[in-house]
Amino acid sequence: MDKNKLKEKFIRGNKKAFDRIYHDYSKAMYSVCLRYTNNTDQAADILQDAFIKIYEKRNLFNPELSLGAWIKRIVINEAINHYRVNKRFQFVEDDNYFDEEEAPVEIAEETNLKEILLDTLRELPEGYRTVFNMYVFDNLKHQEIADYLGVSINTSKTQLAKARKMIQRKLEEKNITRINIINEQGVSKY
């Protein structure tokens, strides 16, 4: 079935179209949910709630836009709302800790390194991990993160800075540095 027909049938509430969309997107969206929680059951619950919302809001979808981007936005919102409602993490308020934006974190392309990074992210405290995910993976600005989570912009910046430091420390403990990544990829550091 072509994508335009799939979108049209989905908007009309066709169960087979929805099942196809679920099949096509659920695995990737589960990974998004898992980035926001260390618990596979909670990630599955978030995914289920998100796809219920996707179905319920199908008439709001503009078929001229990307279905994947629309689904991802709903999944991200559901993951964020899950933590906002449950208040499962603690933020540290420090208005002076972090005044400037840092460069984005570089993520290696090697599958093994990606797995190590994802495992490292799962080890972060939930507040750090949530802000890191929103900023790095979901490309949200600190103002958007603050609005979603009901915290100050400086809290968002502080959580991101602390997450980065903790990630760097954990990766160094695993003997993974930028030089190791560059050497493993066969690229000269000069």
d(CA 131, CA 17): 34
What type of residue is 150?
Answer: G
What does the block give as tokens for 70? 């629309």
CATH, domain range 3-86: 1.10.1740.10
What is residue 177's predicted lDDT score, i.e. its pLDDT?
72
CA separation, residue 90 to residues 45, 131, 136 (Å): 22, 12, 20
Q: Is 0.75 surpassed by the pTM of this model?
A: no
Architecture of domain 111-184 in this structure: Orthogonal Bundle (1.10)
Question: Hey, where are the domains in the chain?
Answer: 3-86, 111-184
Q: List helix spans (H) across 99-184.
A: 111-122, 126-132, 142-149, 153-173, 178-184
Inter-residue contact 36 to 44 (CB < 8 Å): no
Which residues, at least 6 apart from 186, have a Cβ–Cβ distance to it below 8 Å? none
Under the phi-then-psi rule, with left for phi > 0, alpha for psi from -120 to 50, and beta for the rest, what region is 102? beta
Output the pLDDT for position 155.
92
Query: Which residue ranges in the chain fall short of pLDDT 70?
Result: 1, 87-111, 178-190
From the list 63, 24, 30, the residue with the least C-alpha distance to 46 is: 30
Give me the pLDDT at residue 184, please.
56
